[in-house]
Amino acid sequence: MAMPQQGMSTDEVFARLDEYRQDDLPVKGGRAWGFVYDAGPEVDAVKQRAVVTYLGKNGLDPTVFPSLERLENDILAIARDHLNGGEEVVGTFTSGGTESCMLAVKAARERGRAKGIEEPELLLPVTAHAAFHKGARYFGVKVVPVAVDPESFMVDLADLEAKLGPSTVLMVGSAAGYAHGVIDPIEAMGKLAKERDVLLHVDGCIGAWLLPFLAELGEDIPPFDFRVPGVTSISMDLHKYAYAPKGSSVLLFRDAELRRHSYFACAGWTGYSVVNTTMQSTKSAAPLAGAWAVLHYLGHEGYRKLAASIRDATRALLEGIEAQEDLRILGAPKMGLIAIASDTVEVFQLCDALAARGWYVQPQLAYGGSPKNVHLMVEPANARMAEPFLADLAECVREVKASPAEGPNEMLVQAAKMLTPEMVEQRFDELIAMVGGGGGEEGGMLPKERAGLNAVIDMLSTETKEALLKEFMSKLYRA
């Protein structure tokens, strides 16, 4: 593909985009239990109009576009109220959960430096999102993994306390954790954080917006927000359960002093003075305007109604899954994030069987005491789909039980066991071929059925898995 010498017509451009989109996961219809959040066509229309209106504005400098300052302050005030923060709580609108989490890590590192900590450490439950590992690696902070209870998947407080040391700058709790929908014991963590003068970040990327609505509806949600002493920052994505355009999240800090550590300023070059609240400098204002528009369009009542539909669907799913004797739910999810494990059926095969019936579910590999499982994330469009999904799930369990896959053969097991990160580049094509993938340049690299591939990946060390993932990306982007 090269850039056309003569520009295409509008029709041609969009015909081509339509063609490219053919194999994408459908973002509408509720058959995807992950990735997409669909609050309906009215919300979409509002979002799209706001996005188009603000597409050309540059978030680099709010003094040039003062409306951006107003939009961000409005959103932050709403977010602060939602999480019971006082006037002293301040925040930043970011491009997503990952950026919010990373900036929390940066702020903690800078505060640690100011206190004389040279080799900062981050206490991270094994259930904490990968975004914190990313922040730690980008900003040179050492991750100290913390165990979780093998039944509840909440952080193990004794292990947390044992690992707290003089170099600890930050600990992280999730509300809720993506993998199991479980809320960590934030009050107990806050007490420990306060006693030891360590920062506590609550990762509410996926839960912090939704959980207060669920609490209002009568669900049993333990306090996790700024009411809890010791909580010093909270990340909350708006592009998840607030249905804002992708590229919308907020990071709230207990006070402005802590937030200052997340900022960047540079006057040491010949161009314009740079001061950034986020990692991006020039950035689109479209997500900001889209988020503002959706928050104001739906309002408290709108969000509560959507939360009720998610709650009802989640209840139906939990009951329906628990009633199937081959399946069990990991932990006790506080929101619509459900991890389904099994001792009798191969869960990766179950993912394939569901995919064949048009359902997208996420396979989660075994890690840190959490067995391999099938992950569901419930959003408004799936709410109507609980019953048909449960019926298909039961069928798929029967199907997989009746014809279990053989599993990786001895040769493959041996090859996987011997694989080291250094060998990945050389052995990649061979490995993919062994699990039925690698159909050439155009045929797609991955096999249509993924159970075999996932079973092999599940056997690798964390480092080898990471090397494999990078190699995969490197092959995917050929140009």
Which residues here bind ligand PLP, judged by CB under 6 A? 96-98, 101, 129, 131, 174, 178, 203, 205-206, 237, 249
What sections of 34-96 are H helices per DSSP?
Answer: 41-54, 66-82
Task: Tell me the sheet residues that pair with 471.
Answer: none
Number of H helices, E strands in the chain: 17, 13
Phi, psi of 109 (to 5 degrees): -65, -45
| Phi-psi region at 372: left, alpha or beta (left = phi > 0; alpha = psi -120 to 50) | beta
C-beta closer to ligand PLP: residue 375 or 424: 375
CA distance 341 to 181: 14
Provide, rounded to whole angstroms, the least separation between the CB of residue 129 and ligand PLP. 3
What is the biggest distance separating any 2 CA atoms in the chain, rounded to whole angstroms?
70
Element (H, E) at 249: strand 249-253
Provide, rounded to whole angstroms, the least separation between the CB of residue 60 and ligand PLP. 21
C-beta closer to ligand PLP: residue 100 or 464: 100
Q: Which residues of 28-62 are buried (b: 16+ CB within 10 A; e: fewer)?
A: eebbbbbebbbbeeebbebbeebbeebeebebbeb
C-beta closer to ligand PLP: residue 176 or 397: 176
Provide, rounded to whole angstroms, the least separation between the CB of residue 224 and ligand PLP. 12
Closest residue by beta carbon to ligand PLP: 97
C-beta closer to ligand PLP: residue 238 or 460: 238
C-beta closer to ligand PLP: residue 34 or 320: 34
| Residue whose C-alpha is closest to residue 75's, from 303, 294, 292, 296 | 292
Provide, rounded to whole angstroms, the least separation between the CB of residue 202 and ligand PLP. 10
C-beta closer to ligand PLP: residue 281 or 362: 362
Provide, rounded to whole angstroms, the least separation between the CB of residue 238 and ligand PLP. 10
Element (H, E) at 293: helix 286-322
Provide, rounded to whole angstroms, the least separation between the CB of residue 426 and ligand PLP. 32
C-beta closer to ligand PLP: residue 249 or 464: 249
Provide, rounded to whole angstroms, the least separation between the CB of residue 141 and ligand PLP. 17
Burial of 479 from C-beta contacts in 10 A (0-12 / 13-18 / 19+): exposed
Q: Token pair of 380, please?
A: 């408004």
